[in-house]
Amino acid sequence: MSSEAPEVAGTAAKVDELPEHAEGGKYTTPGKEYTRDTRYITTRITADGADGYPVAAGRYRLVAARACPWANRAIIVRRLLGLEDAISLGLPGPTHDARSWTFDLDDGGTDPVLGIERLQDAYFRRFPDYPRGITVPAIVDVPTGAVVTNDFAQMTLDLSTEWTQLHRPGAPDLYPEHLREEIDAVNRKVFAQVNNGVYRCGFAGSQKAYDRAYDRLWSAMDWLEERLTHQRYLVGDTITEADVRLFTTLVRFDAVYHGHFKCNRNRLTEMPALWAYARDLFQTPGFGDTVDFQQIKEHYYVVHTDINPTQIVPKGPDLSGWLTPHGRGALGGRPFGDGTPPGAVRDGERVDPAHTASSMRG
């Protein structure tokens, strides 16, 4: 089970406790540390349908904004496992208002499968008085139009373990049973100090809160630098769930976290092992081909008006370095284990070429 998402509580979150990928509200509270609300809809889609939602091809739609790191995880895992035919993909735009993520990238501003303009409609279809943020990623039951789950941490684990009958031939095992204890331990540390750590820096409400978050972040980054100096992947010799979870933070680090969130002791490009590791994953099918740098920058700099009230989106940094040689093959390892890489990105799911690393030169 997920270590990041406790069961949903019955009370509404305070505005200043809403998750980063929730809608609206302030993100910082003067004098306080940033606290992420980790109460999600914990309904699961499983092979046995124990929660009332059995695995079934074509029944569900993954709604996942490319801008959001938590949603980016689900997009990557879906692609690595070859679940494109089993679970359709809805892509909200990179910005949202105080109410909801919106489907402004689609014709008429309406999701073509769900027929809704705002993701909140799927939440309200199941929970008319839903009290918390309308978050991505979310999986929606297409026949009813109702949200099933937004528990992003459990969601990707279930895609790996409950959807196996619909995996592509050659799909990798991203959560191998013999490594789960170590993967879970690494994930807990990475979530607390890195994935969420950058937000604790960016949304700190006082100097003391910022200093504490900054020190925790860089302690973990130094730990990762040391660990990845000697091994190609975080756990074992193949790509696992742990790598997916770390990657979506690293790929945003220099583009937004270093400056926007004041995580500026080093750029990622100044940490040899982490930078090479991140490039290795970026150049692996299923990772970099899901990343839209322009949407990422637009989301953070436009939505977080308490940090960036002018909403100016910087032109830099130069991101073309993501395509340079990484040399990580010398450490051994087999990216997909006994499996194979995913095929080409499907029509309609390709990142705009103008938003890729080769085009983002600052």
Please give the pLDDT value at position 24.
Answer: 36
The answer to whether 184 and 154 are in contact (CB under 8 A) is no
Average pLDDT over residues 312-336: 96
CATH architecture of 177-355: Up-down Bundle (1.20)
Lookup: tokens for 317? 């940094």
**Dist CA 69 CA 300 (whole Å):** 11
**Measured CA distances, 355 to 33, 65, 89, 296 (Å):** 33, 14, 19, 9
22 falls in which pLDDT band (50, 70, 90)?
very low
Instruction: Say if residues 116 and 145 touch (Cβ distance below 8 Å).
Output: yes
Q: What is the pLDDT of residue 34?
A: 78
Answer yes or no: is pLDDT of 46 > 50.
Answer: yes
Mean pLDDT over the full length of the chain = 91
What is the DSSP pairing of strand 138-141 with strand 146-149?
Answer: antiparallel
What pLDDT was estimated at residue 359? 75
Question: Does residue 20 carry a pLDDT above 60?
Answer: no
Determine the pLDDT at residue 36: 74
% of the chain at pLDDT higher than 70: 91
Kindly state the average pLDDT of the residues 40-60. 98
- By annotation, the residues acting in catalysis are 68, 199
> What architecture (CATH level 2) is domain 15-166?
3-Layer(aba) Sandwich (3.40)
Tell whether residue 101 is among the known ligand binding residues: yes
- Cis peptide bond N-terminal to 317, omega within 30: yes
Side chain identity at residue 140, one-letter code? V
> Do 332 and 237 contact (CB within 8 A), yes or no?
yes
Q: What's the rounded Cα separation, in Å, for the pair 197 and 201?
A: 6
The percent of residues in the chain predicted with pLDDT above 90, rounded, is 84
Tens-digit pLDDT profile for residues 175-226: 999 999 999 999 999 999 999 999 999 999 999 999 999 999 999 999 999 9
State the average pLDDT over residues 48-52. 98
Whether pLDDT at 30 is above 70: no
Q: Is the pLDDT of residue 60 over 50?
A: yes
Confidence of residue 32 (pLDDT cuts 50, 70, 90): confident
Preceding omega of 137 cis (within 30 degrees of 0): yes
Cα torsion angle, 289, 244, 240, 155, sign: negative
What is the secondary structure of 73-120 as a DSSP string?
Answer: HHHHHHHHHT-TTTEEEE---S-B-SS-BB-TTSGGGS-TTT--SBTH
Contacts of 38 (CB under 8 A, 6+ apart): 4, 5, 6, 19
Q: Tally Cβ neighbours within 10 Å of residue 24.
A: 15
Q: What per-residue confidence (pLDDT) applies to 111?
A: 98
pLDDT digits (tens, 9 = 90+) for 248-275: 999 999 999 999 999 999 999 999 999 9
Domain boundaries, the chain: 15-166, 177-355
Q: Cα separation of 33 and 236, whole Å?
A: 35
pLDDT-based confidence at residue 354 (cuts at 50, 70, 90): confident
195 within 8 A of 251, measured Cβ to Cβ: no
* Mean pLDDT, residues 152-171 taken together: 98
The confidence score (pLDDT) of residue 267 equals: 98
Radius of gyration of the chain (CA): 19
Q: How many residues does the chain have?
A: 362
pLDDT at position 14 over 60: no
Q: Considering only residues 326 and 356, tell me which one the structure prediction assigns the higher pLDDT.
A: 326
Residue 140 forms beta bridges with which residues? 61, 147
Q: What is the pLDDT of residues 167-177, one digit of tens each?
A: 999 999 999 99
Give the model's confidence band at 84: pLDDT under 50 very low, under 70 low, under 90 confident, else very high: very high
Rounded Cα gap, residues 202 and 217, in angstroms: 11
Is 1 a residue whose pLDDT tops 80? no
pLDDT of residue 39: 83
- What number is the average pLDDT over the span 311-319? 95
Average pLDDT over residues 331-353: 95
Cα 208 from chain centre: 28
Residue 255 pLDDT: 97
What value does the mean pLDDT take over residues 65-69? 97
Report pLDDT for 105: 96
